[in-house]
Structure 1
């Protein structure tokens, strides 16, 4: 069967998106290839026309997810550092991000699995994460501040997700926003 031009690339993109959602929701290691492919509406055999192994899928998924995050950070409409970080704090440290891991950032959901992955995956992760960190460093005018803020954001989401009570979740998110702003010596609201 012949497919129109670009079909394979579009299908791979769809597989990565759906696999990313499942992995962020249920964990990558605990989700089998059959589950990923069933969710995407393709056979497990079709998997091998896009990826050589589950490990290859994980690497592609990590790169794709971080590239999506990088694109969001680049699309932040503000140039002023205070407005830029306010926008990111409000976007990232939101209850919707806590409640919907499947459509959120890969960092709080899969970093521990990436830490246990092979070097190829960890190199890919590191390369993309460093690209993202450079965006923060550019807007915060500091490599150190960029790392500190990124770690605070990821940690706040991870902590808030571990809590059942929405008031406590909100307190974690709000206190993290304030902490970042104090650290960056910006006015708090």
Structure 2
């Protein structure tokens, strides 16, 4: 039986959506194709017309997650600048819902073990985010991309630490400390007048 293109696209999108959530909540290695397909309301056989392998699904899910994060960052920066972006990223809601949050904070150790093609795609997506943030840094910031990389490292690390101790007062303190560290990194350095 043949299905129209719209139905095939809808099935593919559903697989991607479920996989992205499952990967971020349970991890890539712990997320089997049978579970993903069941959660998507599809049979295991319906997977292969859309993807050649789980590795393909992982790569496309990571790319999709980074694109969505880029749009969210763009909206946050346009609406409230760096402060809104920090508040959204290091919020209790983001901490408590890894399945819909930042793929980096949820998956970095596993992304590091993926094939070179997936890691390369991840690096491209990360640099898109870094360049977006770099444009919004104070005007006299030197090495804007370097500073933006530091901000992202602080944000991702803080979110990972806060999730590790979720449900404790320490978790909230880590979110606040991460935001303070990111703000400090984003401030332009005062140069010595004698230099």
Q: Indicate whether the TM-score tops 0.5.
A: yes
Per the alignment, residue 184 of structure 1 pairs with: 186
Cα deviation digits, residues 2-54 of structure 1 (max 9, x gap):
43442222221221111111111111111111011011010010000110001
Per the alignment, residue 64 of structure 1 pairs with: 64
SS at structure 2 position matched to 1:76? helix
The TM-score with structure 1 as length reference comes to 0.91
- Number of residue pairs aligned between Structure 1 and Structure 2: 183
Per the alignment, residue 150 of structure 2 pairs with: 148
In 1, distance between residues paired with 2:13 and 2:20?
10
Matches within 5 A, 1:35-114: 35-76=35-76, 78=78, 83-114=80-111
1:157 to 156, 159, 165: 159
In structure 1, list runs of 5 or more residues that go unmatched: none
In 1, distance between residues paired with 2:128 and 2:82?
17
In 1, distance between residues paired with 2:150 and 2:53?
35
Q: CA deviation at 1:77?
A: 5.4
In structure 2, list runs of 5 or more residues that go unmatched: 189-195
In 2, distance between residues paired with 1:21 and 1:172?
24
Is the 8 Å Cα contact of residues 158 and 175 (structure 2) preserved in structure 1?
yes
In 1, distance between residues paired with 2:152 and 2:77?
19
Cα deviation digits, residues 152-180 of structure 1 (max 9, x gap):
11001100011044311111011111122
Which ranges of 4 or more aligned residues in structure 1 deviate by more than 4 Å? none
Per the alignment, residue 116 of structure 2 pairs with: 119
1:131 paired with 2:128, answer: yes
Over aligned residue pairs, what C-alpha RMSD do you find?
A: 1.6
In 2, distance between residues paired with 1:77 and 1:151?
18
SS at structure 2 position matched to 1:75? helix
In 1, distance between residues paired with 2:28 and 2:156?
18
